[in-house]
A and B are shown apart, each in its own frame.
Chain A
Amino acid sequence: MDFKHYLQVLKDNTPYDFSNYSDNSIKRRLQKVILDNGLTIDELLDKTQTDKGFVERLVEDITVNTTELFRDPEIWPQFYEKLYPALKGKKTFNIWHAGCSSGMEVYSNMIILNELGLLEQARIFATDISLGMVRQCTNGSYRYEFNKKQLSDFEDIIKKSPIQGISKIDFNKYFDFDLENDRINIKDFLKKKVEIRQHDLVQEKVPFYNKFDVIFCRNVLIYFNANLQSKIYQMFHNQLYPKGSMILGNHESLTGFYKTKFSKNGPLYTKTNVFHFKYQ
């Protein structure tokens, strides 16, 4: 089957448009869905046009949802070396996790904010295209065995490079550990604080009215082609306050035109004002 043709059918009949995802990966993901479901091409086309539940599951299956608590542990001290001075004086500030997956990045960040005494001022927003992920993010319940190494890696990192003086975190403040059932459950006070919504970055509409001080979008845009990436950078640029920052994944970087709209600030991309540019 010509996968481009299929993506067109999907686009014409559902809210989802994957036609500007990276060819290699979307093609492979689609092939896998077809194989796993044991569908013929006609059945696939038919289900796509008539079965809403199928389409939601398809979106879950073709997107990549890998995430970890404190993913890339060594990067968090670097984030906060730059973010802390910018956030600490503010009465309130807004953070958006775009492509939040099951929420691990969201809660990891909130834990650090709380340790730094910044959680109260923070307004936290999280979005993902996948309904399944939105649900998991809302539930905030993860497998223990699978995640304990991440927690201990993170502990090792901050012992060596403290985050603004924080070198130790008591995770019992944030998690209920239910080892019998292999669960880590996020405490309610964190869960209640996040506004979680299903939102597709590909659609031009923005999910919230307010602007942002920080936008996390790590390991999401790597699945998009360069054209679509540019559109999203533009959208983030519009949604950031002046001097707001965008955080990309460890192996993502801005190229071409957008290099001039953000300045690289350690691991952050900080919005530069056109105004400043003119008079420098």
Chain B
Amino acid sequence: MVRPKYKAVVIGGSAGSFSVVSKLLSQLREDFPLPVIICLHRLKHVRSGLVESIRLKSKLEVIEPNDKEQIMAGKVYLAPSNYHMFVEYDGTFSLSTEKPLNHSRPSIDHTLTSAAYVYRNKLIGIVLTGANKDGAKGMKDIADKKGLTIIQDPKTCEMDTMPKSVARLIKPDKVLSPDEISTFLNQLAI
């Protein structure tokens, strides 16, 4: 296997994204060589259960990380409910309960922006379906650091506000359907 050009994948999603992420993780190769860092909005009253449901279909291990947990290749990390999740320069996560950003905790912008600073042009940022604009600013930071930006094709979204608000700030490198996203990621692993 050639050394992949990228060091991490970071994904943000909101309304409608659960099934997209779930399917994506069922399609990713078992030997996927990068960490997959995911921040999804959750309904406030459903505090647990998300990670369990995502695990069901995933071939990769899915973790809700603890503070200061080391980020490892081939694992999937899901921002824990009620915490913002940041990537730190030493390759660990840090968590925070500071106030919601864009009405959300976890906030996609926080995770994406911190990852952009750490991984720079070695990062793939993906924004999926969602009914708000969280993630747009984070994707701009990824683009500014010359990372690769992908949005879910609005035509395939349950709610297209989120990917569209990314497209309003930057020109994404790729606009893909969910199946195309997994095909693209899997081919990085060859």
Give chain A's interface residues, CB within 8 Å of chain B.
Answer: 22-25, 29, 64, 66, 74, 219, 221-223, 226, 229, 249-253, 255
B163 at the interface (CB under 8 A from A): no
Do A74 and B48 touch across chains, with their CB atoms under 8 A apart? yes
Q: Within 8 Å CB of A226, what residues of B?
A: 68, 92
Do B97 and A64 touch across chains, with their CB atoms under 8 A apart? yes
User: How many of chain B's residues touch chain A, expressed as a range?
Assistant: 20 to 34
Do B48 and A66 touch across chains, with their CB atoms under 8 A apart? no
Give chain B's interface residues, CB within 8 Å of chain A.
Answer: 48, 64-69, 80, 83, 86, 88-89, 92, 94-99, 114
Partner of B68, one of A64, A219, A250, A255: A255
Q: Within 8 Å CB of B98, what residues of A?
A: 25, 29, 64, 66
B74, chain A: closest CB distance, angstroms: 20
* Given A22-B94, A29-B98, A66-B97, CB of A251 within 8 Å of CB of B80: yes
Do A252 and B96 touch across chains, with their CB atoms under 8 A apart? no
Known contacts A226-B68, A250-B80, then 14 further A-B pairs from the complex at CB < 8 Å, ordered by chain A residue: A24-B86, A24-B94, A24-B114, A25-B96, A25-B98, A64-B97, A66-B97, A66-B98, A74-B48, A222-B94, A222-B95, A251-B83, A253-B67, A255-B68
Majority-rule SS of A interface residues: loop
Bound Cα distance from A252 to B83, whole angstroms = 12
Nearest-CB residue, chain A, relative to B92: A226
Q: Within 8 Å CB of A252, what residues of B?
A: 66-67
Bound Cα distance from A269 to B96, whole angstroms = 21
B166, chain A: closest CB distance, angstroms: 22
Q: Within 8 Å CB of B95, what residues of A?
A: 222, 251
A215, chain B: closest CB distance, angstroms: 17
Bound Cα distance from A252 to B114, whole angstroms = 20
* Given A22-B88, A74-B48, CB of A251 within 8 Å of CB of B66: yes
Q: Within 8 Å CB of A255, what residues of B?
A: 68
Bound Cα distance from A264 to B4, whole angstroms = 38
Bound Cα distance from A219 to B83, whole angstroms = 10
Bound Cα distance from A223 to B86, whole angstroms = 11
Majority-rule SS of B interface residues: loop
Nearest-CB residue, chain B, relative to A64: B98
Most A Cβ at <10 Å: residue of B83, B89, B92, B94: B94
Partner of B86, one of A25, A66, A229, A250: A25
Q: Within 8 Å CB of B67, what residues of A?
A: 221-222, 249, 251-253
Do A25 and B97 touch across chains, with their CB atoms under 8 A apart? no
Partner of B96, one of A23, A74, A223, A229: A223
* Given A29-B98, A66-B98, A222-B96, CB of A229 within 8 Å of CB of B68: yes
B105, chain A: closest CB distance, angstroms: 9
Interface pairs (26), CB distance under 8 Å? A23-B88, A24-B94, A25-B86, A25-B94, A25-B98, A64-B98, A66-B97, A66-B98, A66-B99, A221-B67, A222-B94, A222-B96, A222-B97, A223-B96, A226-B92, A249-B67, A250-B80, A251-B65, A251-B66, A251-B80, A251-B83, A251-B95, A252-B67, A253-B66, A253-B67, A253-B69
Nearest-CB residue, chain A, relative to B69: A253
A137, chain B: closest CB distance, angstroms: 17
Q: Within 8 Å CB of A23, what residues of B?
A: 88-89
Most A Cβ at <10 Å: residue of B48, B66, B67: B67
Nearest-CB residue, chain B, relative to A66: B97
In the A-B complex, the 5 residue pairs with the smallest Cβ-Cβ separation, listed nearest first, are A66-B97, A222-B67, A64-B98, A253-B66, A22-B94
Do A24 and B88 touch across chains, with their CB atoms under 8 A apart? yes
Q: Within 8 Å CB of B92, what residues of A?
A: 226
Most B Cβ at <10 Å: residue of A64, A222, A255: A222
Bound Cα distance from A229 to B92, whole angstroms = 15
Bound Cα distance from A54 to B69, whole angstroms = 35
Bound Cα distance from A253 to B65, whole angstroms = 10
Do B64 and A64 touch across chains, with their CB atoms under 8 A apart? no
Q: Within 8 Å CB of A74, what residues of B?
A: 48
Bound Cα distance from A26 to B92, whole angstroms = 16
A63, chain B: closest CB distance, angstroms: 9
Bound Cα distance from A226 to B69, whole angstroms = 11
